[in-house]
C-alpha cells in the first residue's frame, strides 16, 4: 500500500499539467499561473491526509483546491486583464474582417461572451470546454449535483451562442457565421474551444 506522502506526490505529478492549464486559462500571464499552481501544490501537500485515495476523486479534490486558490488570488486584488474588452470593441468597430483572421478574432468574441455570463455559468463552461472535465466532474468541483449542472450547462451554452450570434461584426461574413454556430465545440485553439473553418 502506498503511503500518504507517496500517493499525494504521485497525484500532484499526474495532474500537474491539467492544473497548470486550469490557471493558464484564467489569469493574465504564465508567471501568475505557475505561482498559483505552486500555491495549490503546497496547500494540497499540507492537506494530503485528506486527499482521497481513488485517483478520480483525488483529481476532483485537487481542482477544488485550485479553485479556492484562484478565488483567493482574485480576492487579494490582483489586476485582472482588461485587454480582452478593448480588443473586442476594436473588432466590433472594424468594417471588415479578414477571412484568414476569423478563427483568431473569434477567440476574443468567445471570451467576451463568456465574461457576459453569470460567473457560475461561465466557470461551468470553462471547466468543461477549457479543462476537459465531464459535466459530472465539473459538478463535483463546483459542488453541484449532476442534474443541476446539466441544466446550467444547457442554459449557459445557449446564452453564449446567442451572444455570439447577435454580434453583427461576427455574423456578417458567411464563414465566420458558420464558426459562430459551433464556437464552443471542443476543438482547441490557444486555450479557446473553437472550430476552424473547413
pLDDT category of residue 189 using cuts at 50, 70 and 90: very low
Tell me: pLDDT of 48 over 90.
yes
Q: Residue 92: its pLDDT value, please?
A: 59
Q: Which fold has domain 4-75?
A: Rna Polymerase Sigma Factor; Chain: A (1.10.1740)
Q: Residue 18: its pLDDT value, please?
A: 94
Q: Whole-model pTM?
A: 0.57
Cell of 162: 446567442
- Cα angle, residue 187 at apex, residues 184 and 191 outer, rounded to 5°: 80
Q: Are the CB atoms for 160 and 117 separated by under 8 Å?
A: yes
The residue among 33, 25, 32, 174 whose CA lies nearest residue 107 is 25
Q: How many whole angstroms from its chain centre is CA 198?
A: 25
Q: Residue 184: its pLDDT value, please?
A: 52
Q: Are the CB atoms for 64 and 141 separated by under 8 Å?
A: yes
Q: Are the CB atoms for 179 and 186 separated by under 8 Å?
A: no
Q: Residue 28: its pLDDT value, please?
A: 80
Residues 6+ apart with CB under 8 A from 5: 48
The residue among 107, 147, 138 whose CA lies nearest residue 120 is 138
Least confident of 39-48, 63-72, 170-179: 170-179
Q: Residue 90: its pLDDT value, please?
A: 62
Task: Average the pLDDT over 52-69 and give the result.
Answer: 94
Break the chain into its structural domains and give their ranges.
4-75, 83-193
The rounded mean pLDDT for the chain is: 76
Residues 6+ apart with CB under 8 A from 146: 135, 136, 139
Cell of 188: 482547441
Helical H segments across 25-54, by residue range: 30-46
Least confident of 46-50, 72-76, 139-143: 72-76
Pairing of strands 188-189, 192-193: antiparallel
pLDDT category of residue 35 using cuts at 50, 70 and 90: very high
> What is residue 189's DSSP assignment?
E
Could you read off the pLDDT of 99-131 as tens digits, one per residue?
A: 445 555 566 777 777 888 888 888 888 898 888
Kindly report the number of other CB atoms within 10 A of residue 5's CB atom.
Answer: 11
Amino acid at each position: 500500500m502506498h503511503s500518504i506522502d507517496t500517493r499525494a506526490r504521485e497525484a500532484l505529478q499526474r495532474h500537474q499539467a491539467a492544473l497548470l492549464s486550469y490557471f493558464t486559462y484564467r489569469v493574465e500571464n504564465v508567471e501568475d499561473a505557475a505561482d498559483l499552481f505552486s500555491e495549490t501544490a503546497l496547500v494540497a501537500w499540507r492537506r494530503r491526509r485528506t486527499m482521497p485515495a481513488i485517483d478520480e476523486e483525488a483529481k476532483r479534490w485537487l481542482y477544488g483546491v485550485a479553485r479556492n486558490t484562484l478565488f483567493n488570488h482574485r480576492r487579494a486584488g490582483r489586476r485582472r486583464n482588461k485587454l480582452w474588452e478593448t480588443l473586442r470593441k476594436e473588432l466590433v468597430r472594424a468594417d471588415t474582417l479578414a477571412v484568414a483572421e476569423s478563427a483568431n478574432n473569434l477567440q476574443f468574441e468567445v471570451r467576451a461572451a463568456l465574461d457576459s455570463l453569470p460567473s457560475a455559468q461561465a466557470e461551468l463552461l470553462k471547466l468543461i470546454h477549457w479543462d476537459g472535465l465531464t459535466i459530472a466532474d465539473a459538478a463535483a468541483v463546483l459542488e453541484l449535483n449532476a442534474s443541476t449542472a446539466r441544466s446550467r450547462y444547457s442554459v449557459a451554452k445557449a446564452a453564449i451562442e446567442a451572444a455570439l450570434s447577435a454580434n453583427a461584426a461576427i455574423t456578417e461574413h458567411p464563414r465566420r457565421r458558420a464558426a459562430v454556430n459551433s464556437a464552443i465545440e471542443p476543438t482547441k485553439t490557444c486555450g479557446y474551444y473553437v472550430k476552424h473553418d473547413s
